[in-house]
Amino acid sequence: MRSWASGASIFTQPEERMGIKKLAVFSIAVSVLVYLLLVIPSLTARSPPSTVLRPAKERPYPVSFAYLISLSKGDVDQVKRMLGALYHPGNHYLLHLDSEASEAEHAELVTFVSVHPVFREVGNIWIVQKSNLVTYRGPTMLANTLHAMAMLLKACEWEWFVNLSAADYPLITQDDLIYAFSELPRGLNFIQHSSQLGWKRNKRGKPIIMDPGLYSRNKSEIIWLPKQRSQPTAFKLFTGSAWTVVSRAFAEYCIIGWDNLPRTLLLYYTNFISSPEGYFQTVACNSMQFRNSTVNHDLHYITWDNPPKQHPQMLGMKDFRRMIISSAPFARKFRKDDPVLGRIDREILKRSSESFAYGGWCAGSGGGACFGDDWRKNVGVMKPGPGGRRLKALLGRITSVGSLRSRQCR
């Protein structure tokens, strides 16, 4: 790139200097425009623009959450149920359906969101119109999460970003979640992490892979390259859970980072297997600004195969009591329509198949089913229950000074 501050320009004639100034100003303007087009992605919705209502400037709830819910082929029915359990007018929801899914599935999801009276009127659910191709264990999963962060940063105000898949399900109501987080410092980042790589040092840290989803329209398996790499010395590797709850400040740092660490690590993790299990951990723990903001917990109840804790096991009725005792707000992994989901709906979320999870925003005067018909009258009303108290106790334990400092970025 030509430098406009070169020594030769000092000795130009006035007319030439004026031309250079104009050209420099034009170049800066073009650069800014390109940045806005490329770095800040546009938010697209399938529903007609007239149905989208922007959140009011005076926010009625103490905190707000921005959700990315990732769907793959065959997940639409599962996410319909999940939205009933997870929805709240004070939060924001971005749905991404993998481009491998059929047009019929995309149309079904769009129709479901756009015709639902509450979703249509509140206008806080968006669907990514130009879907990304996401490869299992490839960096396209990470790229999709960063894309969603950028879109939600641009679209609305919120305190924490939560990434979920169609196989996740809430274990508390959203009133419980908002209540439990309302008194926390807004900069905390719930990222389960460790520098003790164990078996991942050889199985994840050394292999070099290529994700065809970065350049191909068709989904295929990741490509394993024959050469392996040594451990980095410019930064320290961390690993952990792919499921996080991160602050708006940390999301902004990852998207428009004011130093080069997020971009450097993004390039490194492009050829790293299962990069979502290491990128945010390594960014946070190598950043002087954010390393002391990490809480070593992913706020999920998950049971793993043992050894080597590589694949989560499917949850069922046998896990119900342990899920509640964990006090976690989310759990995974569930099969579609597993009977335990019905028990969670009935006993914890107080919802039927046609209603939302119980909350002050939609509960009738008699405390009956939550359909949201009169949501405008109840905006700002919260009715947290036992789940909120359990989560608040958990948050108190894991964010206490002793627990926080002893488990941060080690």
Q: What is the pLDDT of residues 3-14, one digit of tens each?
A: 333 232 222 334
Q: Is residue 44 included in any domain, yes or no? A: no
Residue 112 lies in a domain: yes
Which pLDDT band, with edges at 50, 70 and 90, does 220 fall under?
confident
Q: What is the mean pLDDT of residues 297-306?
A: 92
How large is the angle between the packed helices 174-181 and 386-398, nearest 10 degrees?
40
In a domain, 228, yes or no: no
Looking at residue 309, its pLDDT comes to 65
Q: Is position 279 within any domain? A: yes
**Closest C-alpha to 138, from 280, 300, 277, 243:** 277
| Per-residue pLDDT reduced to its tens digit, 197-211 | 888 888 889 999 999
More confident residue, 246 or 133: 246
Among candidate residues 46, 55, 67, the one with its CA nearest the CA of residue 115: 46
Return the H-helix or E-strand segment holding 149: helix 140-155
Residue 361 sits at φ, ψ, to 5 deg, of: -70, -20
Task: List Cα–Cα distances, 318 to 256, 290, 306, 315, in angstroms.
Answer: 44, 38, 18, 8
If one compares 308 and 93, the residue with the highest pLDDT of the two is 93
CA distance 74 to 198: 35
Q: Over 50: is that where the pLDDT of 342 sits?
A: yes
**51-83 per-position pLDDT tens digit:** 233 344 578 999 999 999 999 999 999 999 999
Domain with 97 in it: 49-195+241-406
- The whole-number pLDDT of residue 81 equals 97
Is 24 domain-assigned? no
The domain total for the chain is: 1
Q: Residue 63 sits in a domain of what CATH number? A: 3.90.550
In a domain, 19, yes or no: no
Lowest mean pLDDT among 13-27, 89-103, 272-286, 372-386: 13-27
Q: What is the pLDDT of residue 328?
A: 98
Q: Indicate the pTM of the whole model.
A: 0.85
The number of C-alpha atoms within 13 Å of 183 and in the hemisphere containing its C-beta is 11
* Confidence (pLDDT) at 368: 65
Helices (H), 9-138: 14-38, 76-86, 103-115, 117-122
Examine residue 366 and state whether it is found in any structural domain, yes or no. Answer: yes
128 falls within a domain: yes
Confidence of residue 366 (pLDDT cuts 50, 70, 90): low
